[in-house]
Amino acid sequence: MTDLVQLTSDNGIAIITINNPPVNALSPGVPEGISEALDQIAQNADVKATVLIGGGRTFVAGADIKEFGKMTSGKSRGPGLLPLLLKIEDSAKPVIVAVHGSAFGGGMELAMAGHYRVALATAQFGQPEVKLGLIPGAAGTQRLPRLAGVAKAVEMCMSGNPVNTDEALKLGIVDRIIEGDLLCGAIAFAREVAGKPAPKTRERNEKLGNPAENALIFSTAREIAAKKQRGLLAPARAIDAVEAATKMAFEEGCKVEQKLFIECLFSEQSKSLIHVFFSEREAAKIPDIPKQTNTIPIHSAAVVGAGTMGGGIAMVLANAGIPVLVKEADQAALDRGLATIRSNYANSVKRGRFPQQVAEERLKRITPTLAYDDFSRVDLVIEAVFEGMALKKEVFQELDRACKPGAILASNTSTLSIDEIASSTSRPEAVIGTHFFSPANVMRLLEIVRGKASSKEVVATCMQLSKTLGKVGVLVGNCRGFVGNRVFGPYRREAQFLIEEGASVEAVDQALSDFGMAMGPLATGDLAGLDVGWRIRKEYRHLEVPGIRQPFVEDRLCELGRYGQKTGAGWYKYDDQRRATPDPAVGKHIRKWVEEAGIVQRQILAAEITDRCLYALVNEGARILEEGFALRASDIDIIYINGYGFPAHRGGPMWYADTVGLKRVYDRICEFHRQQGELWQPAPLLKQLAELGKTFAEFGREQGATA
């Protein structure tokens, strides 16, 4: 037997333990090990039943995702799980699967092939394959509807969201919840069922419903997928596969599932989503900061500023169980901030996200204050005041005076220099940027900005904190706009130039929304508030190079008081519910301003809109990478997916450029350079990779990245 699987016994109960840390993925050797163990058990007359369990922190998190790349390149034939699962199900002695941690993907499929499932209350069950652009590939779409019913199987396979043990018990996925030691409980259960006829999941057809009910389930699911999972292949195929379970025999259904699984596996979407999976984990690794670096325990925190960002950040901390002080300069602002927090929690309760009691507990962790007095007790302060250097420096001087030694002093600035902010304190090593994205309690991204003096301990603590807060932390360097906003600048710049040159507001947004962006760049501006960028541009006006074209239309809209959604008008106009409609007045204004500026408008096609906006982003990304402000191209991808609505199934902007081909991207950028001038100067790294026929991913691997 392989050393990934152990076979032991306890008075007539065989115990198969999978030990493939960290998550017991079904890597080569694991299925073979289980199969050999089953052979030995079949031949041992003393064994009456088998418990299949995972060693370490979890049951089985699925197939080994690293193997999929080998499968598509023909280097591996895949885990071959289907025959193993039939062997388990056909075993003459009952197999009891004992689950703790996660039974995900192939792990869930393995569990469903067992005759019974017992689990700790904290376990999770799911078919998350769609999140990797896949569908279950080892009969998950065929066994799950037989255990949990058609509607739930469709929901789980198309959303990828797991259920907890309680729900799994109600659904019929789990047979018993074990309190105390899982293995002992599972062995006791095994003794109860030993010698009795064991139910085979694939023969249980009673939950497969009737054609009329099923037709409604599938048509509703398809409508939801078309709306909420726009352009995605896997959810649609997952629905097709579950439908097959209701229309044909198990073996035939498995064949359909296999065909659809392979279609998804070879799709660009799946390759991109797998890239995203590994890149997200890679982002947590900082080359010069080892895993064992000391971190500072964060028992309490404070936020300076109770505006939109400050309030949101306070909620994020409170939601993670960290008590937080919220400071404002005057009572009216503090009251307004707290009222918004209360109403956000009330809305979440109304929408059923959590019960009233949870909202109250979270609210209790937020303490309003007008003074810095209590700041001496906190381990972390996050400053979230208006974006102006003078004000930020004033606040940090106060923090330096008020906070205890060892406290982390973080700024939520989205563009200003962390080093300059740190210079206003006597402890620049404690200063760091924690750039949250709006709305802070919703958006997953946390850009962690390393100043030149930020200590490794402070960086490591913030990276760890991002996980505690349920965020994806990405470490970036201290340049203007850091990574996210620096790259976003050229993207939005091109959107505005396109408007000046003749594209309509709606055409620009539509082209990028069709590409898969969560929102078009102009609608995004309206959501964030056009005045934010306007204020920043004014702060940096002295840095503008004379003779270099600057977009001007958005500033003009701001001068008219059109700040976006919050003023009811920006690029679009908005009703009370903040629903956007095109505003003919904007078109009129633009035509007048553009004429005054001597720009001749022309017809612009959707392809030019996407190429100019996205390649501007990629070109700046390449420059950032070369300058070392991002550790890896994949970090830029993660930032764009989690902070800027870039479609995950396209893998992020740098990965997308790789899929288009860097030579093609480079050539197009050269074309824009000729037409548009200096702003389109190709990034040297992009030129170099294009000429070598390489990708950003290959460049990353050469630099030591593993994603």
Give the residues lining the site for ligand 3H9 (CB under 6 A): 22-23, 25, 61-66, 78-79, 81, 102, 104-106, 109, 128-129, 132, 134, 136-138, 140, 281
109 annotated active-site: yes
Among candidate residues 129, 328, 387, 398, the one labeled active-site is: 129
- Least separation, in Å, of the C-beta of 139 and ligand 3H9? 9
Neighbouring CB atoms inside 10 A of 498's CB total 23
Nearer to ligand 3H9, 245 or 503 (CB): 245
Q: Which is closer to ligand 3H9, CB of 25 or CB of 558? A: 25
**Nearer to ligand 3H9 among residue 30 and residue 193 (C-beta):** 30
For the bound state, the minimum distance from the C-beta of residue 207 to ligand 3H9, rounded and expressed in Å, comes to 21
DSSP string computed for 518-585: SS-HHHHHHHH-HHHHHHHHHHHGGGPPTTS----HHHHHHHTT--BGGGTBSSEEE-TT--EEE-HH
* Long-range CB contacts (within 8 A, 24+) of 599-604: 599/500, 599/501, 601/500, 601/501, 601/502, 602/501, 602/502, 603/502, 604/498, 604/501, 604/502, 604/503, 604/507
Give the CA distances from residue 575 to residues 309, 509, 525, 567, 583, in Å, rounded to whole numbers and listed in that order: 24, 19, 17, 10, 12
- And the tokens for 450? 């390393």
Q: 58 vs 455, which CB is nearer to ligand 3H9?
A: 58
Backbone dihedral angles phi then psi of residue 140, each to the nearest 5 degrees:
-60, -40
Taking alpha carbons only, the member of 308, 342, 303 closest to residue 325 is 303
DSSP 154-223: HHHHHH---EEHHHHHHHTS-SEEEPS-HHHHHHHHHHHHTTSPPPPGGG--TTS--HHHHHHHHHHHHH
Tell me how far, at minimum, the Cβ of 146 lies from ligand 3H9, in Å.
16
Distance of CA 281 to the CA centre of its chain: 11
Instruction: Between 165 and 565, name the residue whose CB sits nearer to ligand 3H9.
Output: 165
Asked if 103 contacts 130 with a C-beta cutoff of 8 angstroms, the reply is: no
Widest distance between CA atoms in the chain: 93
Answer for the pair 437, 643: CB distance below 8 angstroms, yes or no: yes
Q: How far apart are the first and last CA of the chain?
A: 31
Residues 6+ apart with CB under 8 A from 692: none
User: What dihedral do alpha carbons 9, 12, 15, 16 form, nearest 10°?
Assistant: 100
Closer Cβ to ligand 3H9, 88 or 536, answer by number? 88
- Residue 25 vs 366, nearer CB to ligand 3H9: 25
CB of 80 to ligand 3H9, least distance (A): 8
89, 109, 155, 328: the active-site residue: 109
Backbone φ, ψ for residue 356 (5° rounding): -50, -40
Shortest distance (Å) from residue 445 CB to ligand 3H9 = 17
Cβ neighbourhood burial of 579 (10 Å; 0-12, 13-18, 19+): exposed
**In the complex, least distance from residue 318 CB atom to ligand 3H9, rounded to whole angstroms:** 22
Q: Which two tokens stand for residue 471?
A: 């965020």
> Cβ of residue 265: shortest distance to ligand 3H9, in angstroms?
9
Nearest position to ligand 3H9, beta carbon: 105
Per the annotation, the verdict on 596 as an active-site residue is no
Give Cβ neighbours of residue 245 (< 8 Å, ≥ 6 apart): 141, 142, 145, 146, 150, 153, 208, 253
Provide the pairing of β-strand 163-164 with 124-126: antiparallel
Query: Among residues 281 and 452, whose Cβ is nearest to ligand 3H9?
Result: 281
Nearer to ligand 3H9, 105 or 481 (CB): 105
Q: Cα(596)–Cα(373) distance, rounded to whole angstroms?
A: 55
- Could you tell me the smallest distance in angstroms from the CB atom of residue 469 to ligand 3H9? 14
From the CB of 63, what's the least distance to ligand 3H9, in Å? Answer: 4
The alpha helices in 320-417, defined as continuous H runs, are 331-350, 356-364, 389-402
Considering the complex, state which of residue 138 and residue 403 has its C-beta at the smaller distance from ligand 3H9: 138
Task: Tally Cβ neighbours within 10 Å of residue 290.
Answer: 10
Question: Torsion over CA of 597, 602, 605 and 606, rounded to 10 degrees?
Answer: 20
DSSP-derived secondary structure letter, 634:
H
Min dist. Cβ of residue 66 to ligand 3H9 (A): 5
Just list the catalytic residues: 109, 129
